[in-house]
Amino acid sequence: MLCKTAAFICLCFAWLFSSPCYSQGVTADNKTSLKIDSLIEVQKINKQCILIKFGADAVTAINTNKGIVVVDAGISTGLTARYRKIIENEFHKNNFAYVINSHGHHDHNGGNSIFPEAGIIGQVNCLQEISGERKNPEKVIKSLAKTVEEYQLKLQSSEPGAEEWKYNYTQKTRYLNAYYDAKSLIPVKKPGITFSDSINLDLGNFSAEILYFGKCHSSSDILIYLPGMKILFTGDLFTKYGRPNITYNPAPDKNRRRQAVQWIEKRMANIETIINGHGEMLSVDDLKYFNKNIVLN
């Protein structure tokens, strides 16, 4: 089974390397690199904050007096290494102070180790979630290979260059890079700075307020609020129209969620930009709808 999986992944790399739109002097590796770079989007939130997206991969970087702060680290080391270079070029510095994991799922912390000098911050349940996801490496490898194969099939029926094709290409590339990390047994750097309830960061010219939301999409969901920038990061708690991403039975942490909603309500007047864990820009109305929906669940 593993031999078949390895052979399939090799075919995937071969497919990614093939592209008629580059000159013959460009190697297969360079073709793939250029294609990936062309699909990485950089959005300036303001002068001190950028959002980097590659399909569903989303990493936000904030330039502070204490160093660069990164919110989420992407699904893999290979892609996140590219994001780091973009951040360094944008801010003309390379000192990273913190990486904040919005929750413990691998597509948000797979690139943590690309920032070895940074303090990794996460709710304490992150530690168990990260360990749990890597507990059975063989299962992880097979699951990632299956996902890569699914997107390969979708690519074959997509029109090259169309939005559907771009989505399938970026998804396949994301999971292919995650597969490589898993196959190579590259460990995920776990948070070294953990908290149970909340933590506040003094970043010199900015501050960050971080609150544990309670079990919802994961067991370690947090809210990250930058009052000086009027930005709220919500991880994977909800998408547009306030649709909650509920994985856990709502009953055990219902009171905790109500407290988190009250925490948001107190800050609502000073929130202008809302970014979720996959780089989706949400509205204040989306946030209000989420607050109503989550209280009812």
CATH number for the domain including 282? 3.60.15.10
The β-bridge relationship of strands 96-100 and 67-71 is parallel
Nearest CA among 121, 131, 248 for reference residue 196 = 121
Domain containing residue 75 = 39-131+188-296
Whether residue 92 sits in one domain with residue 106: yes
Whether residue 212 sits in one domain with residue 114: yes
Report the distance separating Cα 173 and Cα 80, nearest Å. Answer: 12
Q: Which residues of the chain have pLDDT under 50?
A: 1-2, 15-26
The β-bridge relationship of strands 193-195 and 119-123 is parallel
Query: Which of 183, 212, 243 finishes a domain?
Result: 183
Q: How many domains does the chain have?
A: 2
Nearest CA among 135, 106, 123, 49 for reference residue 277 = 106
Residue 138 corresponds to which tokens in the numbers above?
A: 């063989």
To which residue do tokens 């944008």 refer? 90
pLDDT digits (tens, 9 = 90+) for 189-231: 999 999 999 999 999 999 999 999 999 999 999 999 999 999 9
**pTM, entire model:** 0.90
Report the distance separating Cα 188 and Cα 160, nearest Å. Answer: 34
Whether residue 195 sits in one domain with residue 179: no
- pLDDT at position 18: 41
Whether residue 280 sits in one domain with residue 139: no
Whether residue 169 sits in one domain with residue 144: yes
Cβ atoms 250, 261 nearer than 8 A: no
Whether residue 162 sits in one domain with residue 75: no
Whether residue 290 sits in one domain with residue 152: no
- How much of the chain exceeds pLDDT 70, in percent? 90
- pLDDT at position 87: 98
Residue 263's beta-bridge partner residues? Answer: none
Using DSSP, state whether 75 is helix, strand or coil: coil
Outline where 184-274 has alpha helix (H): 254-267
Whether residue 212 sits in one domain with residue 108: yes
Whether residue 241 sits in one domain with residue 97: yes
Cα–Cα distances in angstroms (integers) from residue 193 to residues 31, 88, 174, 196, in the given order: 39, 24, 27, 11
Whether residue 243 sits in one domain with residue 103: yes
Whether residue 83 sits in one domain with residue 160: no
Whether residue 203 sits in one domain with residue 61: yes
